[in-house]
Chain A
Amino acid sequence: MKTMATVLATAVVAFAAAVPAQAQAPASSPTLDAVKARGFVQCGANGSVAGFGMPNAQGVWTGLDVDSCRAVAAAVFGDATKVRYTALTAQQRFTAIQSGEVDILARNTTWTLSRDTSLGLDFVGVNFYDGQGFMVKKSANIKSAKELNGATICVQPGTTTELNLADYFRANRIRFTPVVIERLEENIAAYLAGRCDAFTTDVSGLASVRASNTPVPADHVILPEVISKEPLGPSVRHGDQRWADIVRWSLAAMVEAEEIGLSSTNIDSQLNSTNPAIQRFVGATGGLGAMMGIDNKWAYNIVKQVGNYGESFTRNVTPLGIERGVNNLWTNGGIMYVPPVR
């Protein structure tokens, strides 16, 4: 045992010694190298939440989260279609990203301290500011979440939702019974069959479920209480800073594009703009791409092929009946704000 501990310690020390050496050679990113060699980005997405990550009737994946993966593919390959998707349940997602099964986890995942640290993830930004709510049947005649004392509530396991739910009821000194089913489809089926009085997840998820999974959406109401803050965003494995940079700034570029007025329809006409911010953005000056080890036209490719954040939102989320609200740009009264792309 002692020898094994010694060998382990040696291995750890050897690795620790190797870290500074890696930092001196900034171009090396094991994930980026693997992605390039493979020819596509492996994206961990939801698979059953319309508007965020779900294949459409033609089998093409669409959604706000899907667009963050497509943006990375556009930045790395200049081709937003070079993405393959893995549908992950709430419980599978962290193991999938930890083990390297996927390169990006873009599955409406809340950024929390414990996930950022002990789960070995690196959250690179927020693509949707959300909060948790409850959906009930209209016929139940419930007006507030505080009236849910004694209710049976359907919830997915392994989510912040599950923890917030327990916190909220504890704080309000009321009781509930959880029904915990792993797959979203079965969870919704249980709610619709009346096994649960309420279904809880992020408000965006509720809107998505109401719009696409209920027979008559008008029969279900989302209660006014939002019981938590849920900043949803893509994450990558801890320890590959170069790859984290690429994913972080691909997301930021979409928001920045909206801010400076670039969209998929007008970016070609802006290529020769004299505005220095736009020149930097489209890669004519500044060499921002090279700093990340990718093509200088990375941001142009993202906007041209995926669109800016506003376009992605309008295309994916607006049809669910969700207002732009806090997800508006900070210049329009929202809180969507990214560091400058320069």
Chain B
Amino acid sequence: MRMSLNDPTFRAIFWQVVVIGGFGLIVWWLISNTLRNLEIRAIATGWDFLTREAGFAIGESVIEFEPEHSYGRALWVGILNTLRVAIVGIVLATILGTLIGIGRLSKNWLVSRACSVYVEFMRNLPLLVQLFFWWAMFQDAFPGPREALQPLPGLFFSNRGIKMPIPAEHWIHAWMGVAFLAGIGASYFMKRWAAARQAATGEQFPVFAATLGLVLGLPFVVWLFGGAPVALDWPVMRGFNFQGGLTMTPEFAALLVGLVTYTAGFIAEIVRAGILAVPHGQTEAASALGIRKGPMLQLVILPQALRVIIPPMTSQFLNLTKNSSLAVAIGYPDLVSIANTTLNQTGQAIEGISIIMAAYLTVSLSISVFMNWYNKRIAFKER
């Protein structure tokens, strides 16, 4: 390599060094300039505020939170609230989107038209508008807590949210959770064993029924061992509002419904595209081999469709998670809402924004890593 710009290797290295150096300089300039300006304006910096008492209350939380807890815990409450709506939202949007995507391919005119209208309607309205719509619906359509609608005993609809009874706290519930996880683990090994046996002997095993039995049956048996507690924690109207039971607030409900129905519109199209991407010859070939409808979908169509579906689906999951930050507009205490309050009370905007960015980046990258792993697993393997 000659030390001249006429040498291609030297030139390549030279320009890369220039670009990286320039980028580094810009970053350094931004950081030093910001720090200097913060210093000049006597604005506090650093992370000490995380351990200071927050002093504000939060409307709903997965973990216990009181005003005397720290800013750090308040932000953690925000992250958990974001995760809660994102996880439930992703599951529901996938189910709803898949149903609508399949529905759009239906031979029934009414079903396919209805699904098309749904997709076009949801995809073409801004999400924020939809959120405000659902929020206003929950607020204005339902009566106050004293006049709450009660479609079933113990189930109340009011503008304070949806209230339902939950099983009263009992020590056996933790063990039922363990049994549930054990059931999932056992089903996995049972499936592998059944596949190996079928490959060796050709004998089939009722995998689906056995899985159901393991996943639901095990916790049920544990519940019986615990003395089969049936006591319920009923919501009771006391003072201003219902006490006890499980609450779904209007803000959470509006955000969840808005995110799910909006994202489902996109997922429906992805599912439809995935199914249409499998050539019809595959179906015909499967029929020719005498494979029935159910196994055909499971063994022939879906494995090929999923290869098309998974990568764009990852984007939709990421979108849903990031869109949950619109919660701030309708008062759901998600990460952005709490971080905004924190940075406003402490004045430390840069730290607050970095926490928001770090949290979303962590969640989004985790989703990406998982989906990429899953994608690789189901990808077409050439032999």
Residues of A within 8 A of B (CB): 4, 7-8, 11-12, 15, 90-91, 94-95, 98, 114-115, 117-120, 148-152, 157-158, 162-163, 165-167, 169-170, 176-183, 186, 189-190, 193-195, 197, 237-239
Contacts and interface: CB of A to CB of B under 8 A. Distances in A.
Given A90-B344, A115-B347, A151-B241, 18 more contacts: A11-B36, A114-B346, A117-B44, A118-B44, A119-B44, A120-B42, A120-B44, A152-B240, A158-B344, A162-B341, A163-B345, A176-B57, A177-B59, A178-B56, A180-B58, A186-B331, A194-B144, A195-B159
B15 interface: no
B167 to A, nearest CB: 23
B39 A15 contact: yes
B40 A158 contact: no
Interface residues of B, number: 45
A238 B330 CA distance: 34
Contacts of A162: 56-57, 341, 345
Contact of A180 (B59, B160, B349): B59
A290 to B, nearest CB: 28
Contact of B55 (A4, A117, A166, A237): A166
Given A15-B40, A150-B241, A118 B346 contact: yes
Interface string B324-365: 000011110100010011001111110000000000000000
> Chain A contact residues: over half helix, strand or loop, or mixed?
mixed
Nearest to A183: B329
Interface in B34-64: 35-36, 38-44, 55-59
Top 9 A-B residue pairs of the complex, sorted by shortest distance between their CB atoms: A158-B344, A119-B347, A118-B44, A166-B67, A120-B43, A181-B331, A120-B41, A150-B239, A193-B139
Given A12-B39, A181-B331, A98 B238 contact: no
Contacts of A150: 238-241, 243
A238 B42 CA distance: 7
A179 B251 contact: yes
Contacts of B169: none
Given A118-B346, A166-B56, A4 B328 contact: no
A90 B41 CA distance: 20
22 contacts: A11-B32, A94-B347, A98-B347, A117-B44, A118-B44, A119-B44, A120-B43, A151-B240, A157-B337, A165-B57, A166-B55, A166-B57, A180-B59, A181-B329, A181-B330, A181-B331, A182-B329, A183-B329, A190-B139, A193-B140, A194-B144, A238-B42
A170 to B, nearest CB: 6
Nearest to A18: B40
B85 to A, nearest CB: 16
Nearest to B44: A118
A180 B58 CA distance: 8
B67 A167 contact: yes
B41 A180 contact: no
A8 B344 contact: no
B347 A118 contact: yes
A157 B341 CA distance: 6
Contacts of B159: 193-195
A249 to B, nearest CB: 22
Contacts of B39: 12, 15
Interface in B231-251: 238-241, 243, 250-251
A309 B120 CA distance: 58
A170 B344 CA distance: 22
B58 A178 contact: yes
Contacts of B239: 149-151
A98 B328 contact: no
Contact of B36 (A12, A95, A178): A12
Contacts of B284: none
Contact of A170 (B68, B330, B340): B68
Nearest to A153: B57
B265 to A, nearest CB: 25
Contact of A119 (B43, B67, B240): B43
Contacts of B68: 170
A193 B39 CA distance: 45
A15 B333 CA distance: 41
Nearest to A159: B344
Contacts of B42: 117, 120, 238-239
B28 interface: yes
A237 B41 contact: yes
B207 to A, nearest CB: 47
A238 B40 CA distance: 8
A308 to B, nearest CB: 33
Given A166-B67, A180-B337, A152 B329 contact: no
A52 to B, nearest CB: 19
Contacts of B35: 8
A91 B176 CA distance: 45
Contact of A152 (B32, B238, B241, B333): B241
Nearest to B161: A195
B55 A163 contact: yes
B258 to A, nearest CB: 15
Nearest to B31: A4
A170 B67 contact: yes
Nearest to A197: B240
Given A118-B347, A120-B42, A150-B239, A8 B337 contact: no
B196 to A, nearest CB: 55
